[in-house]
Amino acid sequence: MPGINLPMAGYPLLDALLKRRSRRFGLGMRMGSGPLAYDSRHAAFSLTEEEEALLTFAASGITGFALLDLPFAEGQGGAIVARSLGRTIASGDAIQTVSLIVSNDDATYLIKRPQDFSPQELRALVDQANSREFTELYRRMRVKIKQGRASPPLAPMFNVNVNRWSLYAPGTTYFLPINELTFMYINGLLEIFNEYSGAYVVDERASFRAAGLGRFARSKGGHLHDDPASGRVLTVQRLELMVADLVTVEQGMMLQNLALMSQAIGLGGFPNFAEHEFAWFQALGFRMAEMPASRYLGANVFARALMNLLGRNQWIPYALGLERDHEILLKPYCPPYYASMKDAVRAVVETKYGPHGLFRGGAEHSAWLEPAAITNAIAKISSAAVEATTAYCEYIYNRYGRFPAYMPAFRTVLGFQACHLDITFYDRFYRADALSETERRHMDRWHAGDSGGI
């Protein structure tokens, strides 16, 4: 099959786990001072399209259908899943919400997620993956969003000081996962606000009053457990941290897969700090908005007045979505891409229960042998859960001017930079076992005749 004879095709997983290290010093790099000061004697040497393709597949390759082997009887929770496609990383509720950016000296790309393709396109992509046609797969999944490299400033707080010497160096390729939080958030709310979970949320920045859920409280005849003794009362912050943590775990799996694939190929690479509220999104050309810091922080009226008086109520940018040539590439489930939070909630429900949703017509594109027999037995989400979710989401958006409240809808945390290693640097400063034979033989095995004798 095409691609089956890749130099790393038979690399053992145990070797990748044992030998994986962060290795930063690439061809053409310079560490200007300190006990490891060194100038590479070689020119920078960019990753090939094939190498980028393998790394991209490791991080976010589409591999087929999620199995969805869950209890779908009413009240058992199986219907929390929202999509049916699988990637090389696990994803909460099979949502596949994390996107991947690939940026090198020539261009910056967005790698499309499973939900960004039609069912017919997806079948072809899975077939290409099984045939090891990774370069062609890479070409089909990427969308060019910028000519040349995208990167935020290297100054403190945009990056950490320890990485400045090597970040975005010529010849490197940078991989950046991007969280989209709103789909996971709304989908989770539909589960915790149903009659079986019955959770209740209070707003700790508003004297712990109900976060739009007062009329749904059990103490007022509703179905949500508002008695703190029930163990089902959450704060907005606690709830949003749960969402952020669940999505960010997917970033971690992307980074680990990038590291393991780098080891198998014989490339250098390391995960690094990329957490900033807006810098990466500005660099990538996202559609941006801004709000005063007081609203961004959820400050009360007295704190806002004090911030204004002291001149500390500056405007804070945040990302709305990614658009190119009148096409929406990434959007959150909130305004301005939906007229209201009610419409956003309805869109999530439609993804699952609409005519082409996972639990209706879309089930034909699943791993189930008899999808209709399964989906016919799955009850539609209750109106009470939808109404409570809508009320909560409208409360958050109306009070804080965005959704979620504590952070923007899009978030970066860590990135991964890959490079061709300068073997002489490691031979100068490290014991021989700092590099495996895979790193030492990479240029000969992958670039014989075009590496200038490196």
Residue 7 lies in a domain: no
Identify which of 194, 199, 180, 197 has the alpha carbon closest to the alpha carbon of residue 92.
180
What's residue 299's pLDDT? 83
Q: How many C-beta atoms lie closer than 10 Å to residue 123's C-beta?
A: 13
Q: Is 244 left (phi over 0), alpha (psi -120 to 50) or beta?
A: alpha
Amino acid at 38: Y
What's residue 295's pLDDT? 85
Amino acid at 406: Y
DSSP per-residue codes, 254-297: HHHHHHHHHHHHT-EEEEEE---SSHHHHHHT-EEEEEEHHHHT
Alpha carbons 370 and 391: distance in angstroms, whole number:
37
Q: What share of the chain is helix, strand, coil (3-state, %, to 5)?
A: 40, 20, 40
Model confidence pTM above 0.85 = yes
Identify which of 330, 348, 308 has the alpha carbon closest to the alpha carbon of residue 408.
330
Total domains, the chain: 1
Q: Is residue 64 helix, strand or coil?
A: strand
Cβ-contact 201, 239 below 8 angstroms: yes
Cβ-contact 328, 321 below 8 angstroms: yes
Residue with tokens 């001072």: 33
Cβ-contact 184, 95 below 8 angstroms: yes
Identify which of 196, 201, 255, 247 has the alpha carbon closest to the alpha carbon of residue 228.
201
Look up the domain containing 59 and give its range: 13-445
DSSP per-residue codes, 163-177: GTTTTT-TT-EEEEE
Cβ-contact 53, 81 below 8 angstroms: no
Within 325-388, strands assigned E span: 327-330
Cβ-contact 415, 271 below 8 angstroms: yes
Alpha carbons 117 and 184: distance in angstroms, whole number:
19
Residue 414 lies in a domain: yes
From edge to edge, which strands make up the β-sheet containing 287-292? 287-292, 315-324, 327-330
Residue 298 is encoded by which pair of tokens? 């959820």
CA angle, 212 then 218 then 221, to 5°:
95
Within 13-77, strands assigned E span: 30-31, 38-39, 62-65
Q: What is the mean pLDDT of each run of 10 residues along the chain (454 residues)?
A: 69 96 98 97 97 98 94 92 95 95 98 94 94 96 98 92 95 98 98 97 95 98 97 97 96 98 98 95 97 85 90 93 96 98 98 94 91 92 97 96 95 98 98 96 89 64
Alpha carbons 114 and 65: distance in angstroms, whole number:
10
Alpha carbons 252 and 398: distance in angstroms, whole number:
32
Residue 158 lies in a domain: yes
Residue 2 lies in a domain: no
Distances (CA, A) of 308 to 140, 407, 413: 50, 22, 31
Residue 301 lies in a domain: yes
Alpha carbon 10 to chain centroid, angstroms: 29
Cβ-contact 403, 226 below 8 angstroms: no
Within 112-165, strands assigned E span: 142-147
Cβ-contact 445, 50 below 8 angstroms: no
Element holding 306 (H helix, E strand): helix 301-309
Bridge partners for 175 per DSSP? 102, 416
Amino acid at 314: Q
Amino acid at 409: A
Residue 407 lies in a domain: yes
